[in-house]
């Protein structure tokens, strides 16, 4: 084969610098999470975590004095609860709107562009006035505060993904239902919704991952474990002094795994959503 | 059809109450001195909060750093993402490779900030260790005014390039194979295929990537908070980080924070409008 040399060069260029650069940080987190506590701070650094331990996850052994996952549980519950409820609210708002836009072009270009632009809003610019308003309503540091702001971003995303999804469902289906005497609401819930399940699941997943990873608004609008989420816990911990590397790496791993897996499941829809449909995955 | 308006009303009402009303309120308080900790009394200042941006050295510094990180981030990440997409396509083990390159994108920003803070650690960090193998003595990555901006840039390249790669890779995949085949029949080699077919077909998509990236980078906050804390001094203050500091930490001056937010909002809205125009949203409405 004539092309063999370029192919080998390609591999070397790809694998050595780039795979190292993109994967080493993840490898470092994984090994730090399972290192024994005497290996956290060594020179040269320890790259092979042997013997390994689960102390950092369980909070047992030497680690118990520093921190453990047990401390993380309230924040984990907040993250799960807030992300789930954001996703539910997002789907409720986005499906109806997307259906109306897909079938009747409700509001036209202006309305659709307005919804899309909501996703681009700078979180800090939303956070400043919302902080003052929620302060006066007394809902700072509650799940509700975060669910409401997150839904601004996720529902914009959801409408986009669902409009293109509904566009692919033949109109004849719901038109047949109208002729049989269904109202708009019935045609939507009984005919269109059931066959749109994949799209709805994708929007659910994307909303979940977006709210799970959000940092800035959670930092502004919450201040203790009544409502603070995992990213804020990690942020507060890592910027403090005397950081125990093992437990924080273990926490990071727990915070990362669910969303990394979910993102890959919904990747196809995520591409189309992220690029506002410029690319269909 | 009856009821079609009823379907969109909940979302409209939601957006009006969670974004439009707060924004109007923010514009209003941007003309006042407003400090919640001092009792929340509004003191009218006129346009002073807006004029202040021009002579406040910290604000000017943050505008400079935000511009730096935005321009550098766009250039490096777009080129690197494009290079990766071109390299990976058609290689053996393409799917596994693609998966590996995408992982950083899926990691929450707070977690990646945490990882990089360990990696850049001056005393025990692996990066300084790797450099020491080449005889380079320990670098204070987050404490040095030259290296701290570089640190933020490296982390953003790590987290942001996979997204560029993903989009351009999907774009390359969607080029009809007949084009490539036809060119190969005419005797085009890999380089000519890339130069005369692949790159021209990606042109619009690269434009979209650049706009999306610039909107993203102008809002940069998480990695600054996690890794440098804006330091040393105020060297790595991004615009969002400045607003956070002014409004909630050092200044607790929500009036000034509001005026800064209004400025950021206007810039982002201009970029978003451009983006939506390029994307031809009309297509989605079937026209």
Alpha carbons B95 and A30: distance in angstroms, whole number: 23
Mean pLDDT confidence for B165-184 = 88
All structural domains of chain B, each given as residue ranges with its CATH number in brackets, are: 46-285 (1.10.3720.10)
Is residue B185 within 8 angstroms of chain A, CB to CB? Answer: no
Nearest CB to A13: which of B36, B87, B115?
A: B87
Contact A45, B130 (CB under 8 A): no
Is residue A235 within 8 angstroms of chain B, CB to CB? Answer: yes
Alpha carbons A35 and A50: distance in angstroms, whole number: 7
Q: Judge whether residue A55 has pLDDT over 70.
A: yes
Q: What are the backbone dihedrals phi and psi of residue B127, each rounded to the nearest 5 degrees, phi first?
A: -65, -45
All structural domains of chain A, each given as residue ranges with its CATH number in brackets, are: 4-65 (no CATH), 71-274 (1.10.3720.10)
Interface of B with A in 37-56 (CB under 8 A): none
Query: How many other C-beta atoms lie within 10 A of the C-beta of residue B174?
Result: 13
Q: What DSSP element (H or E) covers B42? A: strand B42-44
Nearest to A141, CA basis, from A221, A210, A61: A221
Mean pLDDT confidence for B195-216 = 90
Question: In the prediction, which pLDDT does B191 show?
Answer: 83
Q: Do A7 and B91 touch (CB under 8 A)?
A: yes
Q: What DSSP element (H or E) covers A193? A: helix A193-195
State the smallest CA–CA distance between residue A52 and chain B in angstroms.
19
Two structure tokens written together for A252:
């990071």
Above pLDDT 90, what percent of chain B?
A: 57
Is residue B266 within 8 angstroms of chain A, CB to CB? Answer: no
Average pLDDT, chain A: 87
Question: In the prediction, which pLDDT does B174 show?
Answer: 85
Model confidence band, residue B287 (pLDDT cutoffs 50, 70, 90)? very low
More confident residue, B203 or B265: B265
Contact B211, B271 (CB under 8 A): yes
Chain B residues lying within 8 Å of A183, measured CB to CB: 2-3
Question: In the prediction, which pLDDT does A281 show?
Answer: 52
Report pLDDT digits (tens) over B232-251.
989 999 999 999 999 988 86
Report pLDDT digits (tens) over A168-209.
888 888 888 888 888 888 888 888 889 899 899 999 999 999
Alpha carbons A115 and A159: distance in angstroms, whole number: 8
Q: Judge whether residue B267 has pLDDT over 80.
A: yes
Two structure tokens written together for A89:
């609210």
Question: In the prediction, which pLDDT does A1 show?
Answer: 42
Report pLDDT digits (tens) over A56-84.
887 776 655 555 567 888 999 999 999 99
Q: Judge whether residue B98 has pLDDT over 70.
A: yes
Average pLDDT, chain B: 90
Cβ pairs A/B, distance under 8 A: 303
In chain A, the N- to C-terminal Cα span, in Å, equals: 33
């Amino acid at each position: 084969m004539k092309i063999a040399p370029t192919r080998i060069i390609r591999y070397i260029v790809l694998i050595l610098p780039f795979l190292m650069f993109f994967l080493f940080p993840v490898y470092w987190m994984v090994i730090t999470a399972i290192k024994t506590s005497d290996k956290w701070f060594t020179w040269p650094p320890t790259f092979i975590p042997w013997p390994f331990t689960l102390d950092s996850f369980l909070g047992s052994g030497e680690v118990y004095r520093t921190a453990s996952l047990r401390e993380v549980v309230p924040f984990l519950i907040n993250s799960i609860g807030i992300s789930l409820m954001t996703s539910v609210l997002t789907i409720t708002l986005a499906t109806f709107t997307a259906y109306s836009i897909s079938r009747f072009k409700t509001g036209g270009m202006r309305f659709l562009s307005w919804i899309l632009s909501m996703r681009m809003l700078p979180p800090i610019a939303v956070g400043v006035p919302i902080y003052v308003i929620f302060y006066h309503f007394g809902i700072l540091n509650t799940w509700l505060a975060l669910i409401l702001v997150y839904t601004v971003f996720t529902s914009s995303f959801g409408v986009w993904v669902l409009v293109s999804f509904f566009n692919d469902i033949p109109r004849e289906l719901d038109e047949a239902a109208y002729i049989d005497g269904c109202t708009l609401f019935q045609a939507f819930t009984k005919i269109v919704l059931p066959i749109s399940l994949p799209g709805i699941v994708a929007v659910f997943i994307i909303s979940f991952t977006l709210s799970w990873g959000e940092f800035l608004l959670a930092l502004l609008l919450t201040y203790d474990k009544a409502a603070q989420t995992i990213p804020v816990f990690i942020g507060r911990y890592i910027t403090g002094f005397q950081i125990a590397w093992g437990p924080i790496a273990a926490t990071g791993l727990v915070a990362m795994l669910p969303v990394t897996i979910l993102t890959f499941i919904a990747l196809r829809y995520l591409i189309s959503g992220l690029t506002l449909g410029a690319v269909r995955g | 059809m009856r009821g079609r308006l009823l379907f969109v009303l909940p979302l409209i009402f939601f957006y009006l109450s969670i974004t439009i009303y707060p924004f109007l309120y923010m514009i209003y308080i941007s003309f006042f001195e407003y400090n919640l900790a001092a009792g929340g009394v509004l003191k009218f200042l006129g346009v002073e909060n807006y004029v202040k941006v021009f002579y406040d050295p910290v604000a000017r510094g943050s505008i400079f750093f935000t511009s730096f990180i935005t321009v550098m981030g766009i250039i490096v990440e777009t080129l690197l993402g494009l290079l990766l997409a071109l390299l990976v396509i058609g290689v053996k083990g393409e799917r596994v490779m693609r998966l590996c390159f995408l992982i950083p994108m899926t990691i929450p920003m707070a977690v990646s900030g945490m990882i990089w803070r360990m990696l850049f650690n001056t005393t025990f960090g692996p990066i300084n260790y790797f450099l020491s193998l080449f005889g380079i003595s320990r670098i204070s990555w987050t404490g040095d005014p030259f290296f701290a901006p570089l640190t933020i840039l490296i982390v953003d390249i790590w987290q942001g390039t996979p997204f560029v790669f993903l989009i351009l890779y999907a774009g390359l995949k969607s080029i009809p194979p007949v084009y490539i085949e036809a060119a190969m029949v005419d005797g085009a080699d890999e380089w000519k295929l890339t130069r005369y077919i692949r790159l021209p077909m990606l042109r619009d998509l690269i434009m979209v990537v650049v706009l999306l990236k610039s909107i993203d980078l102008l809002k940069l906050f998480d990695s600054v908070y996690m890794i440098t804390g804006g330091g040393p001094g105020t060297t790595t203050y991004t615009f969002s980080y400045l607003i956070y500091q002014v409004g909630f930490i050092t200044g607790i001056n929500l009036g000034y924070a509001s005026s800064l937010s209004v400025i950021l909002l206007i810039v982002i809205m201009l970029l978003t409008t451009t983006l939506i125009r390029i994307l031809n949203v009309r297509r989605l409405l079937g026209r």
